[in-house]
Amino acid sequence: EDQVTQSPEALRLQEGESSSLNCSYTVSGLRGLFWYRQDPGKGPEFLFTLYSAGEEKEKERLKATLTKKESFLHITAPKPEDSATYLCAVTSGDYKLSFGAGTTVTVRA
Amino acid sequence: NAGVMQNPRHLVRRRGQEARLRCSPMKGHSHVYWYRQLPEEGLKFMVYLQKENIIDESGMPKERFSAEFPKEGPSILRIQQVVRGDSAAYFCASSSGGDEKLFFGSGTQLSVL
């Protein structure tokens, strides 16, 4: 069974204070690793898909990287609007995603 | 471009009642997935459907839970004889098929009294 562990559970940052979120995974044949953002009371919003070790993707202040055992989501110079829960998920098949419990990021102005 | 629509947003049921959760996928999407999210836990896969077909229901409890995606109309997740442990947020997602990029709705928060 695919397993995803995210750390830390919660992260409090000052505006402009860069940091990283970790996603460790165990999967039999990784087909894709996904990062989603979830705001309170809403569904997850797709951010990135990574397929192979060494791959990197960027979007505004976010950058996702992938190794054979883990992925990092780097937040550079965060703003209060970056406050959200960030979810990591993996798939070893065609459609079934296994999600981590998420990291809740709070950015203070 | 309407996204994935779920209703109701909040549903309160007493133990033993039935709950019906609806999901209309994004326009052009024919693949629907249901996930359940419990407090402090990650989203858990329940079922994957295409029009008129259940492709994979391995994540769905074998009793009291059923899902359908008819030729016309929304996908329905039905929970019969609800118990307190069914209280959770239920999310629907859709895709066009061919990749795993899912678009999620805003969810239905089910509360069982």
The pLDDT tens digits of the residues spanning B41-82 come to: 889 999 999 988 999 999 999 999 999 999 999 999 999 999
Interface test with B, best of A50, A51, A96 (most B CBs within 10 A): A96
Burial class (CB in 10 A: 0-12, 13-18, 19+), A5: middle
Residues of B in contact with A31 (CB under 8 A): 100
Mean pLDDT, range B17-43, rounded to an integer:
93
Q: Does the distance separating the beta carbons of B102 and A46 come in below 8 Å?
A: yes
Mean pLDDT, range B84-98, rounded to an integer:
91
The answer to whether the beta carbons of residues A16 and A24 sit under 8 Å apart is no
User: Residue B99 above 70 pLDDT?
Assistant: no
The pLDDT value recorded for residue B98 is 62
Q: Is A102 on the interface with B (CB under 8 A)?
A: yes
Per-residue pLDDT 10s for chain A (109 aa) are 889 999 999 999 999 999 999 999 999 889 899 999 999 989 999 999 999 999 999 999 999 999 999 999 999 999 999 999 999 999 987 778 999 999 999 999 9
Work out the number of other CB atoms within 10 angstroms of the CB of residue A48: 21
What share of chain B has pLDDT > 70, as a percent?
96
From A25's Cα to the closest Cα of chain B, the distance in A is 14
**Cis preceding linkage at A44, omega within 30:** no
User: Residue B1 above 60 pLDDT?
Assistant: no
User: Residue B97 above 80 pLDDT?
Assistant: no
The pLDDT value recorded for residue B41 is 81
The pLDDT value recorded for residue A33 is 95
Which structure tokens are listed for A70?
A: 């883990």
Confidence of residue B5 (pLDDT cuts 50, 70, 90): very high
Of B48, B45, B9, nearest to B31 by C-alpha is B48
Residues of B in contact with A44 (CB under 8 A): 43, 91, 104
**CA dihedral of A67, A72, A74, A79, whole degrees rounded to 10:** 160
Work out the number of other CB atoms within 10 angstroms of the CB of residue A50: 20
